[in-house]
Chains A and B, each alone.
Chain A
């Protein structure tokens, strides 16, 4: 276990992270979890189970699809991939996130605009 401080995910951001992960092509469930952890330097703590309701939610909305395939260790697994709709949604969500992050940063660090204290 890492001694780094871990951050719990904000509500709804898991969807965004999944979409972003799938941008690189079809991935199966466990790999998605691993990718998110790895790419965030293990800072983001994803309870791996919560991935599944999120995946199902995205499929129901039509943002991702899946097909059956075989994983690297020869197991049958579902491979998830972005749909066109999901790609567009990723763009929307990303820009929303940028705005949100910017706004929060702006509130937390007003000095950046007003010069050093």
Chain B
């Protein structure tokens, strides 16, 4: 390399000497000095090219040229701050939307669950006779575990609730009861203390708990000696054996039971327990497959086992077969489509941004034709010019990428305010390396696409013509046409996004228009549970709730108050087999299930659930009186479509249960979700249920919204028994609203993207139309001089723009019809081809497009004809 330096140092001098020597020779041959010099130069050839070629011998040519291009590109961009700002902003928004959604998709769908070898974790369901997955039972689980060979571990989990007392304010903690091997199945070890032991997993020894790190810090001040200490849960003493690692994520409990469990108790079942029966479907099974075992292998094995179990216990199963769901699918499956749709939407936004950038570059390129023609004349190769132009768009894209990554960095914060709890794993969203690489990759792709079209177009033009033409700022017809095509594409893509957004909007509107079957206005709900030795006696439980209801009813502003074991749309749910006398199937397990509500006599009144026939509950329907039940319309139609259900009898939850006499029919309510039609429902008086529900929910109807009611009720609970916690405080109308929350999340984002697309599209249309106007200013001036009215000129401009937009809209309609099928599963009672949405979106697009054309048109109308004619 030192040679290189010495060689190049004097290159210019060497060449000059060479030419002078040659000149001298020529003079000696008798030429005039001037003639001699020209001859020497001619003979030598292009000095600059020789210098360049000589340097090229020594350098990584492409690299030096790249540096040159970058330097030159920077200068160009800095010289046009307006252009640069708008281009970088356009790209930043387009790329940012993509980075942001990608960071969600990556965290939720792509990144493995935060457990070792998470791809081997599966959820194992029993299959009911309709082919739906259902929970399993302890007896079935024991057989599964002993007969199958596909699992490293097969564990159980069940919803549980722990009321923590004795450490300050009583608090109800979301918890899971799990088999002792649960954490080994996940591959998680406690950070403090130890895991559950197999010998603790029995009814006699099950008073051990493991805390999450969060609970340990929040309630126990991160006490390092917590292990071995006792805590009181539900009035019983439990020993803390371990604390989970700080990074342990509760997504398993989210996926299985829709809670963020803070506490894990050992399950502690054995076969002798009544709730260990085969038909007691209330447990979730989660397994870790052996390495190398495929889903189809484990499915085949479990199907065989299940078939054998059905043969052995024909009345205790309604169908054979299991459903194996990968754990990740169980958790993220419900939001997959929505996220992919959003990813697609931001993809369209990026295409529009890309088209816009190409458009801007084309516009600028036509101003730079002279510069480029000169470069070519000076000997720049066409490929070098293309590279120079592409480098400039790369610089813009890098600016856009920087901005985009900033957006991705804000995403987690934005999500936590926009969509808490609507999408699983959102806590894992962060701008990490893959997000950064993705941002960079799409930025570079954008630069390549947006930058090369104008570059190729421009460098392909006739050099001579451009040089002579250069004084005029007109562009070749090719550039103009390309820009129009880009605008048409932008309109088509934007319309597609508008249609998609419109369809989701209509779905949400339809959904929120669904009558839930009760009046959700001004009803406050909250959960109260009773625990402790006193409440082993059912009479005390009844007395507690009677006392509480009396106190709440007396609170100011309370119109009525009811109590129920399950609140609709709150996520809790209790299904019981519905066995109607005279209509019970040979295998009672095949009878359909109904949602069961244990309620106080005023509950239906407080909820305003209408009574359709018969009578409602009264205080006379107490413990010891005739057992009575209310059924909903769906149940009545299912069993007694042609006769009167009143007076008929049913058993709930098995043939060994008592008979309940139907006394009335009430309206259907939506329990799970607004979009799911009502199930069969049965209401029984709380006081008459054989195993009294210790956890109940108050439904308090007030005259008007009240901010103080919740604390007043809390006071009332404390007055009855200070150790009983209150939780899940929510206005019923919020629960109804939350039913559409995932949808609203998708809609909000899609709306933002559609708005973004439309803004970009307006800029695109505006840019092209103003450009065309500037080209035709002179022509318009002449027209005006010849007598055209300003309105004619305006119409000329708008008309031209609108024709292009019309083509774009026509294409967009086709594109929408093709693409909206993909979001069919996100829609509710709206067809993907909904004509109203299509028409509305088209009109909006058209209106916006006309506006974008109108501004330049207005300017064209008001230009002074004399100025216009001289314009050039």
Contact = CB atoms under 8 A, between A and B. Distances in A.
If over half of A's interface residues share one DSSP class (helix, strand or loop), that class is named, otherwise mixed; here it is: helix
B58 interface: yes
A56 B52 CA distance: 12
B45 interface: yes
A49 B50 contact: yes
B21 A52 contact: no
Interface stretch (B3-11, B351-359, B460-468, B577-585): B3-11
A57 interface: yes
A87 interface: no
Interface string B34-72: 000000000111110111011011100000000000000
A78 B12 CA distance: 12
B22 A30 contact: yes
Interface in B1-26: 3-4, 7, 10-11, 13-15, 17-18, 20-22, 24-25
B27 to A, nearest CB: 12
Interface string B196-240: 000000000000000000000000000000000000000000000
B3 A59 contact: yes
Interface residues of B, number: 28
Contact of A77 (B3, B17, B47, B57): B17
Contacts of A11: none
B50 A77 contact: no
Contact of B21 (A30, A49, A66): A30
Contact of A48 (B3, B17, B18, B51): B18
Interface in A23-73: 29-30, 33-34, 47-50, 52-53, 56-57, 59-60, 66, 71, 73
Contact of A49 (B24, B49, B56): B49
A75 interface: yes
Contacts of A49: 15, 44-47, 49-50
B53 A30 contact: no
B11 A52 contact: yes
B57 A30 contact: no
Contacts of A77: 14, 17
Contact of A47 (B3, B44, B54): B44
Contacts of A76: 13, 17
Nearest to A34: B25
Contacts of B25: 34
B130 to A, nearest CB: 80
Contacts of B18: 29-30, 33, 48
A71 B4 CA distance: 22
A47 B45 contact: yes
A14 B50 CA distance: 15
Contacts of A73: 21, 24
Contacts of B15: 49, 52
Contact of B57 (A33, A57, A66, A71): A57
Contact of B50 (A30, A52, A78): A52
A53 B54 contact: yes
A48 B25 CA distance: 14
Nearest to B4: A60
A56 B44 contact: no
Nearest to B8: A56
Nearest to A29: B18
B58 A48 contact: no
A33 B13 CA distance: 17
A75 B232 CA distance: 103
Given A50-B45, A75-B17, A60 B57 contact: yes
A4 to B, nearest CB: 16
B56 A53 contact: yes
Interface string A93-116: 000000000000000000000000
A20 to B, nearest CB: 20
Contacts of A53: 50, 53-54, 56-57
Given A49-B46, A49-B47, A56 B54 contact: yes
B22 A48 contact: yes
Contacts of A59: 3, 7
A57 B49 CA distance: 16
Contacts of A71: 17, 21
Contacts of B10: 78
B58 A60 contact: yes
Given A30-B21, A57-B57, A60-B57, A52 B43 contact: no
B21 A50 contact: no
Considering residues B7, B10, B21, which has the most beta carbons from chain A within 10 angstroms of its beta carbon? B21
A56 B25 CA distance: 25
Contacts of B20: 75
A97 B15 CA distance: 30
Given A49-B49, A52-B50, A56-B58, A78 B14 contact: yes
A29 B21 CA distance: 10
Contacts of A52: 11, 14-15, 50-51, 53-54
Q: Which of A30, A34, A77: most chain B Cβ within 10 A?
A: A30
27 contacts: A30-B21, A30-B22, A48-B22, A48-B43, A48-B44, A49-B44, A49-B49, A50-B50, A50-B53, A52-B11, A52-B51, A53-B50, A53-B56, A56-B7, A56-B54, A59-B3, A60-B57, A60-B58, A66-B7, A71-B17, A71-B21, A73-B21, A73-B24, A76-B17, A77-B17, A78-B10, A78-B14
5 tightest CB-CB pairs across the interface, nearest first?
A49-B45, A49-B50, A53-B53, A56-B57, A47-B45
Given A48-B45, A71-B17, 14 more contacts: A29-B17, A29-B18, A30-B22, A33-B18, A34-B25, A47-B43, A48-B44, A49-B46, A53-B50, A56-B57, A56-B58, A60-B4, A73-B21, A76-B13
